[in-house]
Structure 1
Amino acid sequence: MKQATINALKTMGLTEYESKAYLSLASFISATALEISETSGVPQSKIYEVLRSLAKKGFIEITRGKPLKYSVVPPQDIFEKSRIKIKEELDEAESEVKTIYENQIPKSQAPIWLIYGADKIVKKEIEIIGRAKNSLHIASGFMFQNEIEQLNNALNKSLRKGIQARIIAAPYNITDGEKIDISKGLNGLDCEIKTFQIPFIKAIIRDKKEMMLIFSKFNDGVVISQTAIGVWNQYSEFVETIADLYNLVWTMNLFKHYY
């Protein structure tokens, strides 16, 4: 018996003895308690209790007679039900933990954090976008390599939920020697995008409650991604002010429009 398989069965709610007894019975399809005990290593003093528990959990069936016979329920049925149950439990747990996490962030004594590294910054951007309930304001003077596809996926999910998004994007930038067409890359989104050659800075504002500013050093117009820093901010008064400034800039006749 592979320990990894036993560990997986434990994840499905079985004990060590139950996992061993179930695996043993799977090799018999149908067997007596004595046969299962001998092949599984579960002591005879424990085997009946273990088998009753497996039957209660729906992993095996018991046939009356002398001696009692135990039959394994088809594994595909058991595993499918367990996958559904585990996913439901994980989804419920994730929802509860996210609610606790998001409610506590603004209450932090200093709700400003620095995030280093392009991968971690993009991950945080997507997290912020995923928390949006009403609005997103985005300004992008540069992008990292492979970032546009990830943002498109996250933004499309938010837009399908009815989130109102406004995006100001530079036409393109060069990151680590690679040209990135920002406006063109975002052009498929179902929201209004305005194009302007803004400086090498990014901003994502969520619901006027949370924002992140991203900066990076650049050399001769080329962004150096390894120097990138994200400033994640949840001071609601400050974020609301920046969002209002964004909306003011949005009304200025400075941009090309893409729909």
Structure 2
Amino acid sequence: MNPDENDAVDAFERLGLTSYEAKVFIALHRLGSGTARDVARIADVPRSQVYSVAESLADRGLLEIQQSSPMRYRPVSVEEAQTTLEERFDRERERAFAYVESVNDASTGEEEREDIWTVRGRSRVTDRVIDLCSAADDRIVFGTRLSGLLTDSIERTLEERATAGLSVTVVSRSEAVRGRFRALEEVAVEEPPAYREADQRSGRICLVDDDSILLSVVDDDDSETAIWSAGSLFATVLIQLIEASQEVRR
């Protein structure tokens, strides 16, 4: 098979066909119609397997079988096949997510776990910071030593939450970070204690209300990894420890 056909077979497999089914379906479209011998001659499928594969494709509504000797096979049109596979995909998707929703509903009312999550990649960490800040009810503390980790989207979210009446504090040793909020009276800007000057690994910190937190580190390859927890006792205790430590060092 050429690279394009390999890609097509891979795509059909992702749509639910087997490799043999995809190869037979493509071969029949190349032929227009044909016998098992015809298909095996141009497709990488043993002739002995073509019969059962063709039956399976017929069951899926993707080809027609002519009851002759030898039997001949003809694929449905591309448009009809596309509609058939789309409808199958939609049915399977609905079935899968209906089950997941039922499992989710069944868990409602059970004792909550203390969930601590890990997220990797700067864009995903940024999305999580925005999600946490957007869910805040009372206050937000955001800090970073790197100006590149204060994205425009985070800046807008902090400004919007501050304008909405929440207590928003930005903490950074970077003047580039602090300077972006100088003109906004609703946002408090602070510089961290001097003992943090040697810190070269921290990425971002986000404290939300008294029970949600995100902490990230920047790895040697400049990638970012964060842990976060929302609405949990773990987050509450960690926030208390961080704030108590800050008070002791002042």
Matched, 1:196 2:200: no
The code of the aligned residue for 2:125 comes to K
Shift of 1:53: 0.8
> Is the CA contact 1:105–1:234 (under 8 Å) kept in the aligned structure 2?
no
Matched, 1:69 2:73: yes
Query: How far does the alpha carbon of each residue in 1:175-197 deviate from its partner, in whole angstroms, 9 at most, with x for none?
Result: 7xx66864499x9xxxxx93111
Q: Which residue of 2 is the match for residue 168 of structure 1?
A: 168
In structure 2, distance between residues paired with 1:228 and 1:20: 43
More strand by share: 1
TM norm structure 2: 0.54
Greater relative contact order structure (CA < 8 Å, 6+ sep): 1
Shift of 1:148: 2.2
Shift of 1:51: 0.9
Q: Which residue of 1 is the match for residue 59 of structure 2?
A: 56
Q: For this pair of structures, how many residues does the alignment match?
A: 207
Which protein has the larger Cα radius of gyration, Structure 1 or Structure 2?
2
The code of the aligned residue for 2:151 comes to I
Shift of 1:20: 1.4
Shift of 1:50: 0.3
In structure 2, the CA distance between the partners of 1:236 and 1:214, relative to structure 1 (3 Å rule), is same
Root mean square deviation of aligned Cα: 5.3
Seq. identity, %: 16
Shift of 1:56: 2.0
In structure 2, distance between residues paired with 1:82 and 1:152: 43
The code of the aligned residue for 1:194 comes to E
The code of the aligned residue for 1:81 comes to E
In structure 1, distance between residues paired with 2:75 and 2:223: 62
Query: How far does the alpha carbon of each residue in 1:55-84 deviate from its partner, in whole angstroms, 9 at most, with x for none?
Result: 2223x2205453433124316825971895
* Structure 2 residues not aligned, in runs of 5+: 193-203, 241-250
What are the within-5 Å matches in structure 2 for residues 139-218 of structure 1?
139-142=141-144, 144-145=147-148, 147-151=150-154, 166=166, 168-170=168-170, 174=174, 182-183=180-181, 194-200=186-192, 202-205=205-208, 209-213=211-215
In structure 2, the CA distance between the partners of 1:131 and 1:230, relative to structure 1 (3 Å rule), is closer
Identify which of 11, 14, 25 aligns with 2:14: 11
Query: How far does the alpha carbon of each residue in 1:82-125 deviate from its partner, in whole angstroms, 9 at most, with x for none?
Result: 89549947x949x78xx79xx999447xx598x8xxx7466335
The code of the aligned residue for 2:36 comes to A
* Structure 1 residues not aligned, in runs of 5+: 188-192, 217-225, 245-259
Shift of 1:140: 2.6
SS in structure 1 of the partner of residue 17 of structure 2: coil
Runs of 4+ aligned structure 1 residues displaced above 6 Å come to: 226-229, 241-244
In structure 2, the CA distance between the partners of 1:84 and 1:129, relative to structure 1 (3 Å rule), is farther
SS in structure 2 of the partner of residue 197 of structure 1: strand
